Amino acid sequence: MIVFDSVAKRYPGGYTALAGISFEIRHGELVVLSGHSGAGKSTLLKLIPAIERPTAGTVLINGQDVSRLPRRAIPYLRRNLGLVLQESRLLFDRSVFDNVMLPLVITGHPPGDASKRVAAALERVGLAGREKELPAGLSGGEQQRVAIARAIVNRPSILIADEPTAHLDPAYATEIADLFKSFNRAGVTVLISTHDASLFAESAPRRLTLAKGQLLEAA
C-alpha cells in the first residue's frame, strides 16, 4: 500500500533530510514512526501526500508513483488520505462544523450527505453536539480532535499523523492515541509519528525508527 524504495530528500544548501529509505506498509497496518527531533519524520510523512517530492528514489501509494505525479493529479491522491499535521491549522473564525466540512466543500460533496459525514466524524472523535462552537473555546486536546475529524471525514483508507500528541498533557495524549488505534481496528492503515512510542506499546504496532535521515529499524 505504501512503498518507499531508496528514497532520499535533499534541500537547497546540501542538507540531507532522508537518505536511502526503503520500507513497505501493508493494508490495515498500524505503524509508529519514531526518532529524535530533526530525524526526518515530518519530511518522510510529507512525501506520501506529495507535499514534498523526493530527490531520488520512488514513493508508491496503492501502486501509484506519487513521486512523479503531475501537480494537477495531487488533489485526487489526497482524497484517499487523511492528514493530521503538527499544527492543527484550524480556521478560528469558523465553527467546528465548518472546519470539518471544509474537505467535503473542496471536493464538491453533496451538502446533505456532507452534513451527515461531518456529524458522524465528530461523534467518532467524541465531539458530538459541539458543532456550533469556535475552536478558540476548545482545549488543546479538543482542537486536535477537530483536526482528526477533518482528516477522517472523507473516510480515507490511509491516515497519516505527524506528532498528533505533541504539546498535550498525558491524559489527552492517551485519548488521542486511543482514537488512532480505533481507526486502525476499523481497517484504516495508520502511519503516525511520535516522540512517545509508549502510547502505542500495548497495541504492539510495527515501528520505523529514523536517526539523522536514515532508517535504523523497521521492526
Q: Spell out the per-residue pLDDT of the chain, length 219, in tens.
A: 899 999 999 999 889 999 999 999 999 999 999 998 889 999 999 999 999 999 999 999 999 999 889 999 998 899 889 999 877 689 999 999 999 999 999 888 999 999 999 999 999 999 999 999 999 999 988 999 999 999 999 999 999 999 998 878 888 888 889 999 999 999 999 999 988 878 887 776 789 999 999 998 665
189-193 and 158-162 strand pairing: parallel
pLDDT score for 88: 66
Q: How many CA atoms lie within 13 A of 23 on its CB side?
A: 23
Q: Taking the complete model, does pTM exceed 0.75, yes or no? A: yes
> What does the block give as the cell for 5?
524504495
Measured in degrees and rounded to the nearest 5, phi and psi for residue 53 equal -115, 145
* Residue 126, SS3 per DSSP: coil
Question: What pLDDT is stored for residue 196 in this prediction?
Answer: 80
Q: 188: burial class by Cβ within 10 Å (0-12, 13-18, 19+)?
A: buried
